[in-house]
Amino acid sequence: TPEDLAKEIARTKEMTDKPFGVNLTILPAIKPPPYAEYRQAIIEGGIKIVETAGYKPQEHIDHFKEHGIKVIHKCTAVRHALSAERMGADAISIDGFECAGHPGEDDIPGLILIPAAADKVKVPMLASGGFGDGRGLVAALALGADGINMGTRFCVTKEAPIHENFKKQMVENDERDTKLIFRTLHNTARVMKNAVSEEVVAIEAKGGAKFEDIQHLVAGVRGRAAMEKGDADDGIWSAGMIQGLIHDIPTVKELIDRIIADAEKIMDERLARMRVS
């Protein structure tokens, strides 16, 4: 709820004096969220950076910019990135097909999408989808991004408020352990492979499926209950292909320090050796 969001903003302020952002995802929902109230909680909380994701962010961008808030809009296509830039987005997070959650319908992987966007997008740009280590950071910078955005990798950290069973499952999983659901409904989502996601895919594969046919399987209430019980095989859980490169459950500090150290080592050693004198 907007009230819970306000409490989380206040709680985070007690934990750090550094800047932090809030995500506002704009996607179809069984019960549409109170977006205007969420925006107000963000504004009143003194937040200066918001990441928006989803459809038609103009209303949200306009409202936030009226209050001096910088907006990063997450996109899954170059044309959407350019549209968000025209709407006034201050930065773009370009999200490749490898990502968790909604990869769009074009199925363009980051190796192509990131440089394609870098060729045209003028505002700063983050690379999203399939990032979790120093190798990915160096690759993103080489492809033209200004940094990386990580979701699944941060879920598998000690601080993440997620049941330990889910973290352990993602460590055990490899890059093949995701499923694309809602493909036939043109609202594709990449989720962790489990009994429920495989059932959803099977229903869609029969043809003619409507959302009502799978609603009981994908409902957020069911997912929350599975999370509370620690049952990784019941409910839908977003996870990216990066699972195949996740092998431990570090603290966030350990993860960030390792990514930076590995990236610097790659640039200073491996890439330096390849430089033609």
Instruction: Indicate the residue type of 61.
Output: I
State residue 55's pLDDT score: 81
User: At which residue do the structure tokens 């991004």 appear?
Assistant: 145
pLDDT tens sequence across 173-182:
999 999 999 9
Q: What is the CATH number of the domain that holds 71?
A: 3.20.20.70
Residues 141 and 197 in one domain: no
In a domain, 84, yes or no: yes
Residues 168 and 67 in one domain: no
Distance CA 137, CA 140 (A): 5
Residues 24 and 124 in one domain: yes
State residue 277's pLDDT score: 62
Distance CA 145, CA 155 (A): 23
State residue 153's pLDDT score: 98
Partnered with residue 148 across adjacent β-strands are 127
Q: Which residue stretches of 34-173 are H helix?
A: 35-44, 58-66, 78-87, 110-118, 134-143, 152-155, 164-172
Determine what percent of the chain is predicted with pLDDT higher than 70. Answer: 99
| 3-class DSSP assignment, residue 50 | strand
Residue 245 neighbours by CB under 8 Å, 6+ apart: 132, 133, 136, 175
In a domain, 14, yes or no: yes
Specify whether the CB–CB gap between 139 and 276 falls below 8 A: no
pLDDT tens sequence across 148-162:
999 999 999 999 999
Residues 37 and 174 in one domain: no
277 residues of the chain, pLDDT tens digit each: 999 999 999 999 999 999 999 999 987 677 788 999 999 999 999 999 999 998 889 999 999 999 999 999 999 999 999 999 999 999 999 999 999 999 999 999 999 999 999 999 999 999 999 999 999 999 999 999 999 999 999 999 999 999 999 999 999 999 999 999 999 999 999 999 999 999 999 999 999 999 999 999 999 889 989 988 999 999 999 999 999 999 999 999 999 999 999 999 999 999 988 877 6
In a domain, 21, yes or no: yes
In a domain, 155, yes or no: no
State residue 28's pLDDT score: 67
State residue 29's pLDDT score: 72
Q: What are phi and psi of 198, to 5 degrees?
A: -70, -35
State residue 231's pLDDT score: 94
In a domain, 56, yes or no: yes
Structural domain containing residue 197: 164-243
Residues 16 and 130 in one domain: yes
Distance CA 34, CA 6 (A): 14
In a domain, 248, yes or no: no
Run of H or E residues at 260: helix 252-265
State residue 267's pLDDT score: 95
Burial of 175 (0-12, 13-18, 19+ CB in 10 A): middle
Specify whether the CB–CB gap between 150 and 132 falls below 8 A: yes
Q: What are phi and psi of 23, to 5 degrees?
A: -95, 135
State residue 32's pLDDT score: 83
Residues 9 and 134 in one domain: yes
Count of domains observed in the chain: 2
In a domain, 258, yes or no: no
State residue 91's pLDDT score: 98
